[in-house]
Amino acid sequence: MTKTLLLVEDTPSLSLMYKTVLGKAGYEVDCAFTAAEARRRFDAARHHIVLLDMMLPDGNGSDILTWIKAQAPETRVIVITANGSIKVAVEAMRMGASDFLVKPFDELRLKSAVAHAQPGPIPLVGREVPEEVDRSAPPGFIGDSQEMRDIYQTIHLIGRSTATVFITGESGTGKEVCAQAIHDLSTRSDKPFVPLNCGAIPQHLLESEVFGHLKGSFTGAIADKEGAAVAAHGGTLFLDEICEMDLNLQTKLLRFIQSSTVQPVGATRARSVDVRIICATNRDPAAEVAAGRFREDLFYRLHVVPLHLPPLRDRDNDVNLIGEEMLRRYAAEEGKRFERLSEEVQGLFRQMVWRGNVRQLLNVLRNVVVLHDGLEVTPDMLPPDIGARKVAAAEPDLDQPLEGRAAFSGMVGRSLAEVERAFIEATIAECNGSIPRAARMLEISPSTLYRKREAWERAERAERSEAV
């Protein structure tokens, strides 16, 4: 086990704090405060582990990282970035860093990153990784669209890290599959992956499910329960539908993340745990924060590496790749002969909205396989209402006189831009602030709504500045 490491941090107080924490953990720490000093110290000792701040007074941390990997490819480099510099961190991972820390981070996070960076087999990174390998589909994923290949690349890059990941996407897009893939690609893959759906557990039982309880701590507690956080010790805790969590429990979750300790219901002492947290939601977390339903400080603690999964309708021909692969699997399970989708069915699938995304597609295929047989799925085998789910939206009756259409009466006299904004904001409000849900209702991409809202906010700020 490597006990001597190089710490490159230009802030003396932070350098002293990191050195103290690592010293108590049994490590010897060489400290450097500049890029030039880092080069001299590394040249002299060739440390196996380097903690590298990306912002240095006399140089860029990326240059030091590149230089270290060229001198000693086996050295594990853990980069340190400021909050909001995730793109820098991900690029550092692409260049060969083994992990990254986002300031501020706690003692356990620091010690965990160093422990996981101990010498061993080093995965191919940076330029050594062929582009097609870098973007290969992780286990559980099917699809070859550009949108998904970008997702695959990100999963491969952040899998090696222990940073918190926040996955967003509509229901049925594969958020748990994504979390499992990140865990399987991490150094924690031999430890537990513990999923917990915050929206499927009654609020009064959720604290016990997450943190555990002692026997007799409340009515019905007939035995001790360790809770999901303890069960995931050393591995990954996946909190699905995190925005469904009660505000009081969010406070306790924040304390858990900050201290890396859990206190079961009814217990007087806390215990330390080492888990990587991955969370997911089908809501817009920023909108939940703005509405007061999600703590802002918790959001920034969890939103370290954001990852958005696109809806099935935005994934080009992936719907048919998934469809034929799962069709063959279901046929094998049911003893049927199905091998492919007909061209007519493939065309129909590409046109559909798929409000339930992959989950809806799988339900349709299972229905077909159970009720029919043959080599090819034809349109007459599909559920009766499947043709009504195309992308094309119902259009207003333009033959009706304008003055007879009461729904439009309040819009006459307003600009098209005003009408568009009013309609979009009303739709988002109807969806309780969920932009993904509003996007599904409007049958457009969530990114389109985000861009429009950002443009409106910029325009309002500009108007206020001019008024001042």
pLDDT tens-digit map of 201-237: 887 788 888 998 888 777 777 888 888 999 999 999 9
- Interval 70-86 mean pLDDT: 80
| Max Cα-Cα span within the chain | 85
Q: What pLDDT is stored for residue 345 in this prediction?
A: 95
C-alpha span between 359 and 396 (Å, rounded): 31
CA-derived radius of gyration, the chain: 26
Phi then psi for residue 100, to 5 deg, are: -145, 150
Which residue type, as a one-letter code, is found at position 346? Answer: Q
Q: How confident is the model at residue 194 (pLDDT cuts 50, 70, 90)?
A: very high
CA-angle at 386, arms to 399 and 319, nearest 5°? 115
Instruction: Return the top range by mean pLDDT from 56-60, 266-270, 371-375.
Output: 371-375
pLDDT digits (tens, 9 = 90+) for 340-382: 999 999 999 998 989 889 999 999 999 999 999 999 999 999 9
Task: Give yes or no for residue 87 having a pLDDT over 70.
Answer: no
pLDDT digits (tens, 9 = 90+) for 126-161: 333 334 435 788 989 999 998 899 899 889 888 777
- Interval 179-189 mean pLDDT: 92
C-alpha span between 122 and 159 (Å, rounded): 13
**Helical axes 416-430 vs 435-442, angle rounded to 10°:** 120
Q: What pLDDT is stored for residue 129 in this prediction?
A: 38
Residue of higher predicted confidence among 449 and 277: 277
Task: Give yes or no for residue 171 having a pLDDT over 80.
Answer: yes
Q: Which long-range contacts (CB under 8 A, 24 or more apart) does 338-344 make?
A: 338/368, 338/369, 338/373, 338/374, 338/375, 338/376, 338/377, 339/375, 339/376, 340/375, 340/376, 340/377, 341/376, 341/377, 342/376, 342/377, 342/378, 342/379, 344/378, 344/379
pLDDT digits (tens, 9 = 90+) for 19-56: 999 998 889 999 999 999 999 999 999 999 999 998 89
Phi then psi for residue 24, to 5 deg, are: -65, -25
Instruction: Return the top range by mean pLDDT from 14-18, 86-90, 400-404.
Output: 14-18
Q: What pLDDT is stored for residue 395 in this prediction?
A: 40
- State the chain's mean pLDDT as an integer: 83
Q: What pLDDT is stored for residue 117 in this prediction?
A: 78
Residue of higher predicted confidence among 171 and 1: 171
Task: Give yes or no for residue 403 having a pLDDT over 50.
Answer: no
Note the pTM of the prediction, 2 decimals. 0.64
Q: What pLDDT is stored for residue 401 in this prediction?
A: 47
C-alpha span between 20 and 18 (Å, rounded): 5
Q: How many CB atoms lie within 10 A of CB 299?
A: 18
Domains of the chain, CATH where assigned: 4-128 (3.40.50.2300), 134-308 (3.40.50.300), 313-389 (1.10.8.60), 402-467 (1.10.10)
Tokens of 225: 């329960």
Task: Give yes or no for residue 405 having a pLDDT over 60.
Answer: no
Q: How confident is the model at residue 311 (pLDDT cuts 50, 70, 90)?
A: very high
CB-neighbour burial class of residue 9 (10 A; exposed 0-12, middle 13-18, buried 19+): buried
Q: What pLDDT is stored for residue 300 in this prediction?
A: 78
Q: What pLDDT is stored for residue 230 in this prediction?
A: 92
Q: How confident is the model at residue 1 (pLDDT cuts 50, 70, 90)?
A: low
